[in-house]
């Protein structure tokens, strides 16, 4: 009976080592999260509001790190991350939009007396000579339904900084959309 004991100990040792070995990384990468990234810092995006600009008759998308009910509640808010871009079209399609002329991204903003006040401006279409102006930008919509929108965006500023982001979720459309 003694000759079998070393084999049994070796077998138990091998099972223990195998059970403790690291598993292979076969997990699927997580889906894009609702965020934008600037200078390796991630800023969460919680809600989207899509509205039609009556002056240009084109659709704009606004993203916030607050819920749409907080944004539309007429309550003062602070520490707002904000993303805006005008798609320059009357309807949203599953396509890439490369001609984004009106856009803005800011952090640490606030809403006081129902008026939005950006604090730290990361991207703005107001001054073509400034570092925060985008030399290029695109928005790729991959899914748009009556209740959900999925898209990614990338802007490269004049100073070479890149801002990327994605959103996958419900949206509020107070004026209705096509």
Tens of pLDDT, residue by residue over 39-98, are 999 999 999 999 887 667 789 999 999 988 888 888 888 999 999 999 988 889 999 999
Of the candidates 132, 118, 51, 125, the residue with the CA atom closest to the CA atom of residue 81: 118
Burial of 74 (0-12, 13-18, 19+ CB in 10 A): exposed
Which of 19-33, 40-54, 134-148 has the least mean pLDDT?
19-33
22's CB contacts (< 8 A; 6+ apart) are none
DSSP 135: E
Predicted confidence band of residue 25 (pLDDT cuts 50, 70, 90): very low
In the block, residue with structure tokens 């690291």: 22
Q: Are 140 and 152 in contact (CB under 8 A)?
A: yes
> What separation in angstroms does the CA of 119 have from each of 6, 43, 105?
71, 15, 10
Distance CA 8, CA 14 (A): 10
Low-confidence winner among 7-21, 118-132, 158-172 (lowest mean pLDDT): 7-21
Query: Do 60 and 50 contact (CB within 8 A), yes or no?
Result: yes
99-139 confidence digits (pLDDT tens): 898 999 999 999 888 888 899 999 999 999 999 999 999 99
């Amino acid at each position: 009976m003694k000759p079998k004991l070393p084999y049994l100990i070796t077998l138990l040792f091998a099972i223990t080592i195998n059970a403790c070995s690291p598993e292979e990384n076969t997990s699927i990468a997580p889906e894009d999260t609702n965020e934008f990234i600037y200078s390796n810092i991630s800023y969460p995006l919680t809600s989207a509001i899509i509205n039609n600009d009556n002056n240009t008759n084109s659709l704009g998308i606004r993203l916030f790190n607050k819920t749409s009910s907080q944004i539309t509640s007429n309550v003062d808010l602070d520490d707002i991350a904000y993303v805006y871009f005008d798609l320059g079209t009357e309807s949203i399609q599953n396509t890439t939009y490369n001609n984004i002329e009106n856009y803005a991204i800011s952090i640490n903003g606030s809403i006081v007396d129902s008026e939005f006040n950006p604090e730290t401006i990361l991207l703005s279409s107001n001054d073509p000579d400034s570092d925060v102006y985008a030399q290029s930008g695109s928005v790729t919509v991959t899914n748009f339904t009556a209740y959900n929108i999925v898209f990614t965006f990338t802007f490269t500023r004049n100073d070479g900084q890149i801002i990327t982001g994605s959103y996958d979720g419900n949206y509020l459309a107070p004026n209705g959309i096509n």
